[in-house]
Structure 1
């Protein structure tokens, strides 16, 4: 009969709990150079961002008509909207950690609140802002700001309306963020500068996926 030492048993148990051949699944948002080879998700090419037109959400663009420039990407649905913006960041830096306190201070200066919480993508902001409605009444505008640091870029995703209050567990909105691909490019840019967006082919912008 062969006896095993406790240390041997402990090592064997550890190996059984964490099999060497199993690796953590890769999740987005992705840098375009890190997109898995087997990824087959269709996306709309907007230059610095590739966005998946998920069922139930309509892809819209915020355009500065005077400058003829795309300012932001919006995915809109019956329960709110998701605004996506990408910015240049230093390699290996934490731009989201730097600007998060500034965003919170800006909300406070405007009479609102911004509270940090931990979510699917790390630390995020749950925000409330008092606004005046078109009929002259006072109301509360909720938003939820999520930041993701990437390879020389930072993605900022802002959930607005009822979608901002659905913060428990993964859902359609967070899945949409996870499917974003960022194309930073090799050009030098100031830290915090918005990555340039481009108009997609018209058929991609107007086409809606089946629900």
Structure 2
């Protein structure tokens, strides 16, 4: 991959030492960012686009889209999407000793089962994978412990496409880069992301729209409670005129070699309710 190329005529070229693979670690990822000499080259060699979020670098395979959305707590999360899957990478601070991912799986299983999901834990390439089935949706969590960090992807799909979605999620997971940093952090706390300015501006707008929506809903509930069955006048605050969707999204720019085509990645509307119940970031 990094050695001398053969000539276009097909003539043999004298053997030469391969170039140092300073952009490609010898092991399967997720990678500690310190093990990659040239981050941009690493993804270029794969034919991926990528976005650098400081503590987390996400590679975007050709033909996929990258969206940024607000989680239920109003915090940004990045989704790698196709028509088959929605993959959400995350990274957490962890102790030096391994075992945090095992604990996370146990906690997710308990909470998902309490919500009525059918949950199994299966063996995958990195070890334990949690799979939760609900009507109309399948949720899969893949994770691994690194050096003082734990990396995870959460994968959402419809039941008929769950296996294909799992492979798409593993492909993203294998090429994540984590930058834990040297400072102290509480165990299991999500590593802070550095959001590019363009995306940050879009997120501020989305957060304002979400706040307006919540204010409008609260106003309507107060009006309904105050009228006690009487016909209330159709009066709404100006903010209610431009309500944002429940999960506002803004495009994230992900340049890739050849400007890869972008494909729609949202699950079908008939599955939206179940998918939303499974996607909650801090409730699982």
TM-score category by the smaller chain? 0.7 to 0.9
Tell me which residue corresponds to 2:260. 210
Q: Which runs of 5+ in 2 are unaligned?
A: 1-24, 45-49, 200-250, 262-284
The offset of 1:206, in angstroms, is: 2.3
Name the SS for the 1:166 alignment partner: helix
**For residue 163 of structure 2, what is the aligned residue in structure 1?**
166
Q: CA deviation at 1:36?
A: 5.9
Which position in structure 1 is the counterpart of 2:174?
A: 178
**Contact 2:79–2:86 (Cα < 8 Å) also in 1:** yes
Return the structure number with greater helix share.
Answer: 2
State how many pairs are aligned: 176
Which residue of 79, 82, 86 corresponds with 1:74?
79
- Contact 2:131–2:141 (Cα < 8 Å) also in 1: yes
Higher strand share: 1
Q: Name 2:107's counterpart in structure 1.
A: 102
Higher Cα Rg: structure 1 or 2? 2
CA distance in 2, matches of 1:47, 1:140: 35
Shift of 1:64: 6.2
The whole-number CA distance in structure 2 between the counterparts of 1:125 and 1:50 is: 23
Q: Is structure 2 residue 141 aligned with structure 1 residue 145?
A: yes
Pair 1:157-2:123 in alignment: no
For structure 1, the 5+ residue unaligned runs are 1-23, 130-138
Supply the distance in 2 between the matched residues of 1:101 and 1:78 (Cα, whole angstroms).
Answer: 30
- Specify the alignment match of 1:63 in structure 2: 70
Task: State the superposition RMSD in angstroms.
Answer: 2.8
User: Which of 72, 85, 88 lines up with 1:83 in the alignment?
Assistant: 88
Distance change (3 Å), C-alpha of 1:159 and 1:34? same
The secondary structure found in structure 2 opposite 1:40 is helix
Deviations 1:106-153 (A, max 9, x none): 011111121011112211111113xxxxxxxxx332111111111111
Displacement over 4 Å in runs of 4+: 36-39, 64-67
